[in-house]
Structure 1
Amino acid sequence: MTTETTELDPEDAKIITLARSSRARFGAAEGAAVRDATGRTYAAVTVTLPSLALSALELAVAMAVSSGADRLEAAAVVSEATELTDAALAPALDLKVGAVFLAAPDGTVVARR
């Protein structure tokens, strides 16, 4: 991922805001949001149960797929992390995501892929 320094498209800023607000509302470790090829958005947070663990991005992608999405325009993850591994990005990459943004809890974009 590379550091993002340019102005965000309003639609990309929207998914960062959705991810950020979901994370804050539930006090989760991560929040994520994705936008599919038709413009629909899906927001999710990290799930940790005794029998199930999903990252916020995994869950947001699963929600999109379960609604019929076969491609993603963009994804955003809000986290304390400073980078996302290829393994963490894999669900979005499976749907040929156009751009992935990693943002700090305050919404500042830390990296873009």
Structure 2
Amino acid sequence: MADTPTSPDAALDPEDKKILTLARSTRARNGVAEGAAVRDETGRTYAAGTVELPSLRLSALQVAVAMAVASGARGLEAAAVVSTADAPADADLAAVRDLGGPGTPLLLAGPDGVPHTTARA
């Protein structure tokens, strides 16, 4: 896994902007610690927030990947997480790698939606 800092002004692909927007709006709407979104191999998107129940704890990205799998996705093109974290969690990178394969980009953005890191699963 290699992390590459990105500039707030870096030109993002419109589809990557879309998943960042979905992740940010899900986080804000649900009032959860993280929002995430993924884009599958056909261009479909799945957005989710953190799940924190007494018996079940999942990161937003784990939920988004699970939603994609449950909907029949066979691969991922990209993933995005909006969080206060400085780096993606190892479990999140593993989930992206499991469905997307090595090298799938994971954009990590702060609560403002501006990406600061691009990791490769």
Instruction: Tell me the TM-score normalized by structure 1.
Output: 0.96
Match of 1:91 in 2: 95
CA distance in 2, matches of 1:77, 1:88: 9
Match of 1:102 in 2: 108
CA distance in 1, matches of 2:48, 2:100: 19
Matching residue's letter, 1:3: P
* Cα shift at 1:95: 1.2
Q: What do residues 37-56 of structure 1 show as CA deviations (whole Å, max 9, x unaligned)?
A: 00000000000001100000
Q: 2:28 aligns with which of 6, 24, 27?
A: 24
1:2 equivalenced with 2:8 (yes/no)? no
CA distance in 2, matches of 1:85, 1:31: 13
Match of 1:57 in 2: 61
* Cα shift at 1:69: 0.6
Which stretches of structure 1, 4 residues or longer, exceed 4 Å deviation after superposition? none
Could you say what secondary structure the match of 2:21 adopts?
helix
Q: 1:82 aligns with which of 79, 86, 106?
A: 86
Q: Which runs of 5+ in 2 are unaligned?
A: none
Matching residue's letter, 2:55: S
Aligned residues: 113
Could you say what secondary structure the match of 1:95 adopts?
helix
Q: 1:73 aligns with which of 69, 77, 94?
A: 77
Could you say what secondary structure the match of 1:112 adopts?
strand
1:12 equivalenced with 2:16 (yes/no)? yes
Matching residue's letter, 2:111: P
Q: What do residues 27-66 of structure 1 show as CA deviations (whole Å, max 9, x unaligned)?
A: 1000000000000000000000011000000000000000
Match of 1:46 in 2: 50
Matching residue's letter, 1:8: L
Matching residue's letter, 2:80: A
